């Protein structure tokens, strides 16, 4: 039968019974005794009134947060500790924008009293920003990305024009497509032979295969990858992969996937026939363009 020992609550000083096992455990780890959870919470969140050592302002701290030196803010702590360290040599400097004097330490390199003053002095005019974007595009021979600009130029563009892409458009350039956002919304279309296609253009190609009696499969996996080819022509010897690259040169992510598929076909020795929008539109040239690409497979 467990023995009970009489102990005193650390918060309300009330005496209560504690079993010997828990009593020994509390003594071993140096824990206090509490008659209830409520008393334990009150004791651990108990606050003590203190006075800031710099400005004399009254402050409150929990018992566990009290230190040898207590301040109401970091600025008050800095004032006291900087007085104790005169070797830091605080110097008075005049702000280049507003003329206000402020203190700067030897280790710092501030010329302005605040970021507002810095932005007012270093702010670009809209005409200057557009010229910078145009000149950078000429040097790179492409549309520059926002991350390629420093010195607050990209932030100034966003402030004046609303966004980086809008500032690029104002400079007479076509903004880059996002690397992460989805490139297009798929519109499912069903071909004559029942194949489900991701766009109207794919359905046109699939229907052309059906009308010209070219045996084909839809959505065929590349070997040992998650990539899929739009079609595969299936002669007796081997597969020939067909891809419709409808968004070529429109998105960096899409262009990277094209290069990956081309490398996979070269590695696996798989013939790849690429179809582009210029091969389909205007539709009056569709039949001639596809016949020239698939002249070797029309009799399969």
Residues 146, 165 contacting (CB under 8 angstroms):
no
Q: What is the dihedral of CA 14, 19, 20, 21, to 10 degrees?
A: -120
Domain of residue 229, CATH code: 3.40.960
Same domain, 194 and 138: no
- The per-residue pLDDT for 119 is 67
Residue 276 lies in a domain: yes
| Structural domain includes residue 177 | no
User: What pTM value is reported for the model?
Assistant: 0.42
Q: Please report the pLDDT score of residue 182 as a whole number.
A: 45
Pairing of strands 189-190, 101-104: unpaired
Mean pLDDT score of the chain: 82
**For 231-258, what is each residue's pLDDT tens digit?**
998 765 567 899 999 888 777 778 888 9
Task: Calculate ∠ Cα 164-119-137, nearest 5°.
Answer: 35
Instruction: Give yes or no for residue 148 having a pLDDT over 80.
Output: no
| End-to-end alpha carbon distance in the chain | 93
Q: List for the chain the helix, strand, coil content (%; round to 5).
A: 40, 20, 40
User: Does 156 fall in a domain?
Assistant: yes
Per-residue DSSP letters for 97-116? TT--EEEE-TT----SSSHH
Specify if 179 maps to a domain: no
Q: Do residues 208 and 289 both lie within one domain?
A: yes
Question: Is there a contact between 160 and 130 (Cβ–Cβ < 8 Å)?
Answer: no
Distance CA(102)–CA(95), nearest Å, equals 7
Do the domain assignments include residue 29? yes
Q: 147 and 199 share a domain?
A: no
Q: Are residue 24 and residue 82 in the same domain, yes or no?
A: no
Contact yes or no for 160/233 (Cβ under 8 A): no
Residue 8 lies in a domain: yes
Q: What is the pLDDT of residue 15?
A: 93
What is the average per-residue pLDDT within 44-71?
A: 87
Q: What is the residue range of 78's domain?
A: 74-113
Question: What pLDDT score does 181 carry?
Answer: 46
Percent of the chain with pLDDT over 70: 86
Whether residue 201 sits in one domain with residue 128? no
How many domains, the chain? 4
Mean pLDDT confidence for 141-147: 81
Instruction: Judge whether residue 299 has pLDDT over 70.
Output: no
Which DSSP category does 72 fall into?
A: S
pLDDT for residue 292 is more than 80: yes
96 and 130 inside one domain: no
Q: What is the mean pLDDT of residues 190-209?
A: 90
Structure tokens at 2: 């467990």
The pLDDT of residue 220 is above 60: yes
Rounded alpha-carbon distances, angstroms, from residue 229 to 133, 209, 225, 271: 39, 15, 11, 12
Domain contains 222:
yes
For residues 280 and 289, the answer to whether their CB atoms sit within 8 Å is yes
Look at the alpha carbons of 86, 88, 94, 95 in this order and tell me if their dihedral is positive or negative. negative
Place of tokens 């360290």: 85
Shared domain for 152 and 106, answered yes or no, is: no
Q: Over the stretch 78-131, which tens digit does the pLDDT of each residue have?
A: 888 877 776 556 677 888 778 888 776 654 456 777 777 776 666 678 888 899
Whether 105 and 134 map to the same domain: the answer is: no
Q: Do residues 230 and 242 lie in contact, with contact meaning Cβ atoms separated by under 8 Å?
A: yes
Please check whether residue 293 is in contact with residue 274, taking contact to mean a CB–CB distance below 8 angstroms: no
Same domain, 82 and 33: no
Cβ count near 205 (within 10 Å): 22
Query: Is residue 150 included in any domain, yes or no?
Result: yes
The larger pLDDT score, comparing residue 203 to residue 235, is at: 203
Burial readout 139-178 (b: 16 or more C-beta within 10 A, e: otherwise): eeeeebbbeebeeebbebbeebbeebbebbebbebebbee
Give residue 120's pLDDT: 66
- 160 and 103 co-located in one domain: no
295's tokens: 């002249």
């Amino acid at each position: 039968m467990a023995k009970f020992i009489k102990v005193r609550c650390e918060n309300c000083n009330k005496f209560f019974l504690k079993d010997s096992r828990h009593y020994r455990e509390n003594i071993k780890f140096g824990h206090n005794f509490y008659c209830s959870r409520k008393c334990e919470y009150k004791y651990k969140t108990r606050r003590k009134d203190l006075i800031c050592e710099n400005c004399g302002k009254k402050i409150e701290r929990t018992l566990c947060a009290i230190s040898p030196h207590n301040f109401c803010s970091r600025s008050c702590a800095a004032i006291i500790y900087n007085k104790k360290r005169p070797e830091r040599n605080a110097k008075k400097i005049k702000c280049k924008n507003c003329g206000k004097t402020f203190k700067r330490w030897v280790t710092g390199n501030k010329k302005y009293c605040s970021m507002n003053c810095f932005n007012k002095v270093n702010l670009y005019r809209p005409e200057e920003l557009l010229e910078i974007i145009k000149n950078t595009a000429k040097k790179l021979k492409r549309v520059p990305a926002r991350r390629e600009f420093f010195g607050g130029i990209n932030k100034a563009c966003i402030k004046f024009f609303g966004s980086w892409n809008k500032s690029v458009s104002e400079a007479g350039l076509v903004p880059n497509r996002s690397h992460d956002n989805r490139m297009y919304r798929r519109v499912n279309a069903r071909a004559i032979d029942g194949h489900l296609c991701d766009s109207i253009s794919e359905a046109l190609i699939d229907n052309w295969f059906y009308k010209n009696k070219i045996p084909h499969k839809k959505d065929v996996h590349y070997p040992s990858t998650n990539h899929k080819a739009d079609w595969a022509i299936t002669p007796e010897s081997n597969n020939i992969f067909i891809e419709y690259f409808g968004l070529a040169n429109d998105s960096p992510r899409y262009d990277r996937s094209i290069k990956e598929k081309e490398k996979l076909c070269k590695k696996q020795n798989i013939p790849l026939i690429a179809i582009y929008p210029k091969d389909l539109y205007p539709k009056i040239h569709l039949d001639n363009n596809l016949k020239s690409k698939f002249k070797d497979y029309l009799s399969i």
